[in-house]
Structure 1
Amino acid sequence: MAVVAALPGEIDRDSRRPGVAQEWEGQIDLVCRIEIRHPLSRIQAPTPVIGCARDVLVPVHHSREIHAAIPGSSYAELDSGHVARAERPEELIKLIRDVIGPGR
């Protein structure tokens, strides 16, 4: 939980770094332009999709759409925001281990 407590300070510190506004604008522009839906139906490998129910940056309906578009994919949803690895690390690790198998 120390990671979660430290995160807001790190974000605040980073947001004051010179050039960060332009970096965010570039990321937002890229996200708005990228279209990934078309090739999803061609994925043949076992594919887990994990959605985060309280994610405001990438709303969970996008994860559900990705899952629906990948044949045979599995889907799990965490009660988490965008940074599940900090908000729900144990649950995320369990989901990943369930997919890759024990001992990995």
Structure 2
Amino acid sequence: MTGLSTLIRGTGPALLLVHGAGGSVQANYGPVLAPLTQRFTVVAPDLPGSGASPNAAGPLELEALADDLVAVATGAGHESFFVAGYSMGCAVAVTAAVRHPERVRGLVLSAPFARIDAATRARVDRWESLLAGPREPLARYVLSVMCGEQYLSRLSPAQADGLVELIGASVPPGARAHLDLLTRIDLTDVLPRVTVPTLVIGASGDRLLSHDLGKQVADLVHGAEYADIACGHAIALESAAPWARLVTDFLASV
């Protein structure tokens, strides 16, 4: 698919960002874009049906998405680059690294999974079922699974309502296609084929993805480093500064 809307900003080595299901570049990476663009030339496409990117004509396929995003980075003039994925975007990042080893220099995988487990599947199915209804119940559910318990406990009712309004207003048209792809992903046999330096970042307070899923990814990638951040699934919202430091410090060492 061509025509993906893409943010390109910063200076330094190229860093391709891949956002998660039901998100966008701004929604998933907004608070860390400034520190990342101080160290890297960030190339950040919105996936089909997110941001200003058009919906895909049919179901999303992991290999095609990975090829398209690599084409975006090379089309921006970068022969090789790092790739940072978030949530479902980690699967796209891994697939890009395996299919294009001559392009990808290193990986950072934040809140990843090889394949979702039954508990995560139930939460994703609930999310998908709410897409057909009013936005407020959907947004309140998304808030409840995206944010950690401690973060939610600190919100005032007015702050929670503000986030609900923001989430409800920013549901991307492609969310259903994203979630459909998420449920079909299985990287169990792909992750051992990753050959580039890899950092896996887990979110210890994740209420969307079961926490062990990230550790499973790290175990399947030979030589991968693992770090935890004490936050929920919405890492950029809850822990932008520590997340940016982990990403930049690791890639600077590669």
Is 1:73 the counterpart of 2:224? The answer is yes
Report the counterpart of residue 164 of structure 2 in structure 1.
Answer: 8
1:32 to 175, 183, 202: 183
Report the counterpart of residue 213 of structure 2 in structure 1.
Answer: 62
Q: C-alpha distance in 1, partners of 2:235/2:189?
A: 27
Letter in 2 for 1:49: V
- Which runs of no fewer than 5 residues in structure 2 stay unpaired? 1-30, 32-154
1:46 to 188, 197, 209: 197
| Percent identical residues | 24
Q: CA deviation at 1:14?
A: 3.3
Report the counterpart of residue 86 of structure 1 in structure 2.
Answer: 237
Secondary structure, aligned partner of 2:219: helix
Letter in 2 for 1:9: E
Which is richer in strand?
Answer: 2
Output the TM-score relative to the length of structure 1: 0.76
Secondary structure, aligned partner of 1:75: strand
Q: CA deviation at 1:80?
A: 1.1
Report the counterpart of residue 95 of structure 1 in structure 2.
Answer: 246
Q: C-alpha distance in 1, partners of 2:212/2:198?
A: 17
Asked if the contact 1:52–1:78 (Cα under 8 Å) also holds between the matched residues in 2, the reply is yes
Output the TM-score relative to the length of structure 2: 0.34
Letter in 2 for 1:59: S
Letter in 1 for 2:189: H
Higher mean Cα deviation, 91-100 or 26-35? 26-35
Secondary structure, aligned partner of 1:101: helix
- Which runs of no fewer than 5 residues in structure 1 stay unpaired? none
Q: What is the root-mean-square deviation of aligned Cα atoms in Å?
A: 2.4
Runs of 4+ aligned residues of structure 1 deviating over 6 Å after TM superposition are none
Secondary structure, aligned partner of 2:168: helix
Q: CA deviation at 1:82?
A: 1.2
Q: C-alpha distance in 2, partners of 1:49/1:88?
A: 16
Which is richer in helix?
Answer: 1
Q: C-alpha distance in 1, partners of 2:163/2:231?
A: 15
Q: CA deviation at 1:40?
A: 0.5
* Alpha-carbon displacement from aligned partner over 1:4-59 (angstroms, at most 9, x marks no partner): 956432102235x8xx5xx4443332211111121100111110000111222222
Q: C-alpha distance in 2, partners of 1:9/1:77?
A: 30
Corresponding residue pairs, total: 95
Asked if the contact 1:53–1:59 (Cα under 8 Å) also holds between the matched residues in 2, the reply is no
